[in-house]
């Protein structure tokens, strides 16, 4: 099948990584649906013919509407790139349960709902590809990332289950764990603190302050 006949859904497709992925797939010739909770499509390149679609990935019915609409219009879903996500920068001791729930609901439940809805139509067609965007914070304990890290860690496992179970239906699943330079600094700072020299490096101190920790926690 030619790439031009293929249909991709990119969640979180109106900004950041999702917008970049959507643009790349559209340039490759795919029909791309950028599904996002945002109503502002500032980063959407309209010259590429990407279709914005309003969805709340944390809402199972909203996700079902998305996949129904794409199937009704295009008749297929060949590719899902699940980028929609939220992060909260809070120390573990100061993370309210409501915040933990919100992040898990958006990042993990959202990944489950979108992945399952798309995988069902892909499995019925006998082919498809799913990429879930995790984070390096899901692979190891980064400070001030209790909710976010837990949600992203679970996405790694969920994706592995999807890959194992969906293979026999011709559907591939994989997750990517982006990092950022800032997090690499943070990890260095955490390792340094564990070794007993808490935040001696002024750059790391600024980073922790940046991440919402109180100055008294660093001195
Ligand atoms: N930027 C980084 O350094 C980095 C590093 C590691 C992982 N990630 C992950 O990559 C993904 C994209 O990150 P980004 O930096 O591009 O963020 P971003 O905030 O620019 O984009 C996230 C998009 O998801 C959408 N979204 C949020 N909640 C939603 C919901 N309930 N339903 C539908 N859409 C929703 C937002 O409107 C936004 O357009 C996220 O999952 C993030 O955790 C990013």
**Rounded distance between C-alpha atoms, residue 159 and residue 187, angstroms:** 25
Q: Is the CB of 153 under 6 A from ligand 1?
A: no
Give the number of the atom of ligand 1 that is nearest the alpha carbon of residue 13: 39
Look at residue 47 and tell me whether its pLDDT is greater than 80: yes
Q: What is the pTM of this model?
A: 0.86
Output the CA–CA distances (angstroms, integers) from residue 128 to 79, 152, 172, in the order listed. Answer: 6, 23, 6
Q: What is the pLDDT of residue 146?
A: 96
pLDDT band (50, 70, 90) for residue 43: confident
Catalytic residue among 23, 90, 133, 148: 148
Nearest CA to ligand 1 atom 11: 83
Please give the share of the chain, as a percent, with pLDDT higher than 70.
79
> Containing H/E element for 72?
helix 60-74
Look at residue 172 and tell me whether its pLDDT is greater than 50: yes
Which tens digit of pLDDT belongs to each residue from 124-133? 999 999 999 9
Q: Is the CB of 20 under 6 A from ligand 1?
A: no
Output the CA–CA distances (angstroms, integers) from residue 168 to 115, 134, 160, 163, in the order listed. Answer: 16, 24, 14, 9
Report which of residues 95 and 44 the model is more confident about.
95
**Rounded distance between C-alpha atoms, residue 204 and residue 198, angstroms:** 9
Residue-range domains of the chain with CATH = 3-179 (3.40.50.720), 181-219 (no CATH)
Q: How far is the CA of 119 from the centre of ligand 1 (A)?
A: 21
Q: Is the CB of 135 under 6 A from ligand 1?
A: yes
Q: Catalytic: 148? A: yes
Look at residue 26 and tell me whether its pLDDT is greater than 70: yes
Q: Which of 8-12, 51-55, 209-213 has the lowest mean pLDDT?
A: 209-213
Q: Is the CB of 83 under 6 A from ligand 1?
A: yes
Which tens digit of pLDDT belongs to each residue from 97-124? 999 999 999 999 999 999 999 999 999 9
- CA angle, corner 147, sides to 157 and 138, nearest 5? 35
Nearest CA to ligand 1 atom 43: 85
Average pLDDT across the chain, whole number:
85
Burial class (CB in 10 A: 0-12, 13-18, 19+), 137: buried
């Amino acid at each position: 099948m030619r790439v031009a006949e293929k249909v991709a859904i990119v969640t979180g497709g109106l900004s950041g990584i999702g917008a970049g992925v959507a643009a790349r797939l559209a340039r490759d010739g795919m029909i791309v649906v950028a599904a996002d909770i945002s109503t502002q499509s500032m980063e959407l390149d309209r010259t590429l013919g990407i279709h914005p679609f309003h969805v709340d990935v944390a809402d199972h019915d909203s996700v079902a509407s998305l996949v129904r609409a794409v199937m009704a219009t295009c008749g297929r879903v060949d590719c899902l790139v699940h980028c929609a996500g939220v992060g909260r920068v809070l120390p573990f001791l100061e993370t309210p349960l409501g915040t933990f729930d919100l992040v898990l609901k958006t990042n993990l439940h959202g990944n489950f709902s979108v992945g399952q809805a798309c995988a069902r139509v892909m499995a019925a067609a006998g082919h498809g590809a799913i990429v879930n965007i995790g984070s390096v914070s899901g692979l190891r304990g980064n400070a001030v990332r209790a909710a976010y890290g837990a949600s992203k860690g679970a996405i790694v496992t969920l994706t592995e289950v999807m890959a194992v179970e969906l293979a026999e239906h011709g559907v591939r699943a994989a997750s990517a764990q982006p990092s950022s330079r800032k997090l690499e600094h943070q990890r260095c700072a955490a390792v340094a603190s564990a070794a007993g020299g808490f935040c001696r490096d002024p750059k790391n101190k600024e980073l922790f302050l940046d991440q919402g920790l109180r100055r008294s926690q660093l001195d």
